Amino acid sequence: MIRHDAELGAANTLGLACRAERFAALESLAEARQVLAEARRHGWPVSVLGGGSNLILRPWLPGLVVQADFADWWLEPLDADTVRVHVEAGMNWHSLVEALAARELWGTENLALIPGRVGAAPIQNIGAYGVELADLLESVHLLYLDDGRETVLSREECAFAYRDSVFKHALHGRVLITRLVLRLSTRPAPRLGYGDLAARLGPTPSASEVVAAVSRVRREKLPDPAVLGNAGSFFKNPVVAAERARRLLAEYPGMPHFPLADGSVKLAAGWLIDQCGLKGLREGRVGVHDRQALVLVHHGGASAEELLALARRVADTVAERFGVTLEREPRLLGRALP
């Protein structure tokens, strides 16, 4: 069912006021096909909304906004050690992680408490605590917005990279993701080398215990969007050439850094922002979180432009001090009111 002039302020974790010219919560794949066919008949531009957790909304979304609400999932045993998991786009990601861990299926537990829905996960290749979605994903089912074609992309065709995928490039704004297929293990395989996870757990934790530990860490570090509007990590951790990293480390020996397989080095954006003295900064109705400098927060009543102005100030300050470019992580959608 298509609603007109729909308020979407509650549909994005930043809590930015936004109205959609038309909005449809899709209850099934069949309804998705039907609604998108109607949009094509009328020539409406289509925007896809997930859980609204990695999104900056401007005040007006013209055309039709669709959100996949279908959320079934099922298991397909492959052998004694491996299970294929089919999960539809509308399911809450953390609820899926908890359900899989309760069945002692290993692979997603380090991705606990990442906000949003399953369908949005491949877009930025969600990752945390040493694990990325690309490590687990087998395929993505999708529906083209322009002609209704349905297809399946393999992991390789998704062109995953750090916080990146084909859905941010060649397929940006062109598809509705309808289902993911993951491959998980029935054998215990905890990955506890990141941060202090190992210190929080015993030598042989269950998958649910890892989920609980990761969730505790995230709650300690990140604000709850239900209390303080935010989109999680606002900037990607920048990746620099090895020589650039070497020069920075000579000047800042305590700088967190993570060598990558290709010889480049990933830096910690939060540390860079913190070193610039910006943690806790408030500019009007937006600010930098006082416990995690990587998170920009909305105190209420602000616009997307105010938030973007703060983001530019943060990025410019880091670039001036460290010569490192910060890239925004949340996508920007919409335009000024007509």
At a CB cut-off of 8 Å and minimum separation 6, what does 212 contact? 112
* Interatomic CA distance for residues 182 and 76, integer angstroms: 10
Q: Can 163 be counted among the known catalytic residues?
A: yes
According to DSSP H, which parts of the chain are helical? 29-42, 93-102, 197-200, 207-221, 242-251, 269-275, 304-322
Q: Both tokens of residue 177?
A: 């993701």
Of 150, 285, 329, 331, which is the active-site residue? 329
Of 22, 58, 117, 163, which is the active-site residue? 163
* Interatomic CA distance for residues 235 and 295, integer angstroms: 8
Q: Both tokens of residue 310?
A: 């703060």
Provide DSSP, 292-337: -TTEEEE-SS--HHHHHHHHHHHHHHHHHHH-----B-SEEE-BS-
136 contacts 128 by C-beta, under 8 angstroms: no
Of 47, 139, 165, 233, which is the active-site residue? 233
Cα 93 to Cα 99, 111, 193, 256, distances in angstroms? 10, 9, 23, 29
Q: Can 305 be counted among the known catalytic residues?
A: no
Cα 279 to Cα 112, 127, 269, 328, 330, distances in angstroms? 25, 23, 12, 17, 19
Pairing between β-strand 73-77 and β-strand 131-132 as defined by DSSP bridges = unpaired
Hey, which residues are catalytic here? 163, 233, 329
